Amino acid sequence: MSDAHLYTLLSELPPRGQELLNHLAARSTRFSLRDADLPPGGVSAWAADFERLVQIGALERAGWGQSPRFRLTTAAREAWRQLVQTRR
């Protein structure tokens, strides 16, 4: 998938998906799939939005532990940064 295509997919996310992406982009590069690492409401409230980010290639698995670990792909982090800058 090209960076331009990913940029387009991220720009078309619904508001909740953008909120989740913004929250995850502000965190360290790796995070666990657990309530404490997600916005209020935890895994159950954000599952569909999280799944959408995985489907479009914005998140990738980054290891296992007591819970799966993920990270924003480099391309997604850069595309999101550009998108946020253009909206200012």
Write down the domain spans for the chain. Answer: 3-87
Q: Is the pLDDT of residue 29 over 80?
A: no
- Structure pTM? 0.87
> DSSP letter string over the chain?
--HHHHHHHHHTS-HHHHHHHHHHHTS-SEEESSGGGSSTTHHHHHHHHHHHHHHTTSEEEEE-SSS-EEEE-HHHHHHHHHHHHHH-
Is 70 exceeded by the pLDDT of residue 1? no
pLDDT digits over 34-63, tens only?
898 899 999 999 999 999 999 999 999 998
CATH topology of domain 3-87: Arc Repressor Mutant, subunit A (1.10.10)
